[in-house]
Structure 1
Amino acid sequence: MSEFSFEGRVAVVTGAGRGLGRAYARLLAERGAKVVVNDLGGSIEGDGADIGPAQTVVEEITAAGGTAVADTNDVSTRSGAEAIINRAVEDFGRIDVLVNNAGIIRYAGLPEIEAENLERHLAVHLVGSFNTLRAAWPHFVEQGYGRAVLTTSSGMFGLDNNLSYAAAKAGTVGLARSARLSGEPHNIKVNLIAPAAMTRMGGGEQPDDAQPVPGMPHMPSAAVAPMVAYLAHESCPVNGEIYTAGAGRFARLFIASTEGYVHQDGPATVEDVAANWDSINDEKDYYVPSDLMAWSGSFLKHQFG
């Protein structure tokens, strides 16, 4: 038996009909998990619905000897998210792993972007992650175990025409960072993946059998899946962290603070800020706060000795 087995575990993977989600679902099933393959089956903009993608992945899993069922509920609604989790519990008796991968993208930036564009991205990426996590949470607490992997993106670093996508993906970071604190007493871990892959939303999906071409990116979805499986495994050692994976590289992303400049003599002025700009931005001795209280303690340490 593999060291990283999912025998006896039940996983829900959203957005699993194609690309990254498909790769995650297939690997988890290969490692022994029973999998709910959720996918609305719409376009990359979130329009339409089709059971075909989810059902195809289920057929691939079962043909390989695994166990899976297809689901087409919409993560952006509370009822849809609850139905997805209920499908796992009703068909397989429990829910151990939640991988929130469902997403859309509608490229737009300022000044032309409409509010509806932002609202739709938030509904799927951020609210969808919240909806499914909240639906799974009581089951995690009751059994004293749960693993959730939310999806963020390097897109949050910024691109002129992905404003809504970047904002929504940055939001999942705050969601996971706070959820992990609630989960710690119950052996629930919530981490994030920032995948790097060629997908429908990221430049065109590479086929499973694509071979590397010198001088060209080789970024199959399957290259991200090992990190997601590790974060979803019972032996995962971290909680509330962000990891990137793809193209053979695996790395940690984190939110850090510089030590900055401490003004001591009376109220600071704009001139004081300007004069100490280099110290404020100096990345030497930066620190990575574990949570809000840790940041507050470090930020205010000069006042408390």
Structure 2
Amino acid sequence: MAAVEKRRQAVAPAAAPAANFTDNGRVSMSRGATAAESEEDFLRQVGVTEMLRAALLKVLEARPEEPIAFLAHYFENMGLRSPANGGAGEPPGQLLLQQQRLGRALWHLRLAHHSQRTAFNNNVSVAYECLSASGRKKKPGLDGRTYSELLKRICRDGGAPEEVVAPLLRKIQCRDHEAVPLDIFRAGMLTCFVLLEFVARASALFQLLEDPGLAVADRRVGQAVLDTLEGALGTGDRAAAPARYLEAGSRLGPDSLAQALDRAAGGRRPSSPMARQEFLEKAAALFIAKVKPVC
């Protein structure tokens, strides 16, 4: 009998360990039973990794003198890009939000010079996204009113006289109710920045021509420079881009300008003065004549 009892105990199933229950009756899970997310996975899932990567790329593109202040400004304004933050208030709250978006779009547009085409185009896309954010009562997209307001802000902040840039704005602005696609937006932004640089170079050139005491230039000399600019801008309209750029650069070189100035200064008759405003308006008109309307 003792042997039989021992065999029964050997084949009897082992008692299951008692389950641990929490106060609300659910089985508690041990830490080892669940796969804990790593710190790297967490940062990637919440978007921090991509956000920091984008911020560092902006620093490399802009190469600011004070990178820490640049990053502080960047993160300070990041919330305005989210469509969920748009349209939360009624006017004047809505107007304030619109001004904030315009300011942030301008900040992005100025991060890279327009000659750095890849970086500039990326910043244009971000600016377009900022202005296209929708709210509860607004569909996503950019209207002509916001687009035109941004063009005016760019020209005004660029320091160009209003009379100089007004013809360009009339040419590339859109109607308030028109939808502005990204390619039109990009063309308008690029045209504005190129014109501002063109006017700044023309202003520096006039400073070399003017009489310091009278703040005016000889009209013959000023007109000779304008004629040279016109010839350079009209060079090879149908030629390939590299050849056109080389020929235009040669016409604006020191030798060509010196010859034009010598011919103008050789006149014997006295010439009437030309003011800076007139010179800039005529120089800008040469540039604007080459711009095609975008809307």
Return the structure number with greater helix share: 2
- TM-score range normalised by the length of the shorter chain: under 0.3
TM score, norm. by length of structure 2: 0.27
TM-score, with length taken from structure 1: 0.26
